[in-house]
Amino acid sequence: MGREHAEDTAGWAAHDLGRVIVSADEVAARVRDLGSQITRDYQDHPPLLVCVLKGAINFMSDLMRAIELPVEVDFMAVSSYGAATKTSGVVRIVKDLDVDLADRDVLIIEDVVDSGLTLNYLRQYLGARSPRSLEVCALLLKQGEQRVEQDLKYVGFSIPSDFVVGYGLDVNERYRNLDAIYTFVGQP
């Protein structure tokens, strides 16, 4: 994966960024691959894409354009980090879905899975609404961080357990607009 350093692509934020974990080109190529796979897998039943805000917004925006099916989208906002760089483990629904999930194929679009606690909660919460199927597409899976066993149908990249920013991921609402994914070495 990424070999460049922050100064090469994000000068305005370089003082807070470490190495590139996944380059913009690698992200784009993997999103296209995931879109093709989802298109094949859901050919007969286009899924409802549920974007977990705010971190997954860049990923979902690119992913839905790479899926060659008439997908629908909806958004959820959950909080388990606050201003910290580690999850608190307490999940709070900030914005719920607007659509009914009954008998729908639902694909949760997540930015990063680390402990898995938030995702586990979301699966239970949405599963109680009787979808036909409920799967997950995560851009990033942090190696060795899961406290809950995860069965992820689609994973973009498996990465080290470093705290990362860029391509939708943030610290205090900053760095989401970077097109690559970097380690964060600044102060939150």
pTM across the whole model? 0.88
Query: For residue 174, is it within any domain?
Result: no
Query: For residue 121, is it within any domain?
Result: yes
Q: How many CB atoms lie within 10 A of CB 138?
A: 26
72 alpha-carbon distance from chain centroid: 17
User: Domain range for residue 78?
Assistant: 27-161
Indicate the helix (H) or strand (E) that contains 183.
strand 181-184
Question: What confidence tier does 3 reach under pLDDT thresholds 50, 70, 90?
Answer: very low
Query: For residue 90, is it within any domain?
Result: yes
pLDDT, tens digit (0-9, with 9 covering 90-100), for 72-82: 999 999 877 55
Q: How many CB atoms lie within 10 A of CB 38?
A: 25
Q: Could you say which of 16, 62, 111, 114 is catalytic?
A: 114
Q: What's the whole-number average pLDDT of the chain? A: 89
Query: For residue 19, is it within any domain?
Result: no
Query: For residue 3, is it within any domain?
Result: no
Phi, psi of 19 (to 5 degrees): -80, 160
Query: For residue 92, is it within any domain?
Result: yes
Please answer whether residues 111 and 80 qualify as being in contact, where contact means their C-beta atoms are separated by less than 8 angstroms: no
What pLDDT score was predicted for residue 14?
A: 85
Query: For residue 166, is it within any domain?
Result: no
CATH of the domain at 81: 3.40.50.2020
- Count of domains forming the chain: 1
Instruction: Report the range of poorest mean pLDDT among 5-19, 21-35, 76-90, 119-133.
Output: 76-90
pLDDT at 115 over 90: no
36 SS3 class = helix
Strands (E), 83-178: 92-95, 105-113, 133-142, 154-159, 164-165
Question: What confidence tier does 31 reach under pLDDT thresholds 50, 70, 90?
Answer: very high
Query: For residue 181, is it within any domain?
Result: no
CA distance 186 to 144: 23
Top pLDDT among 86 and 98 is at 98
Mark whether 114 is an active-site residue.
yes
Mean pLDDT value of segment 98-127: 93
Mean pLDDT value of segment 173-187: 94
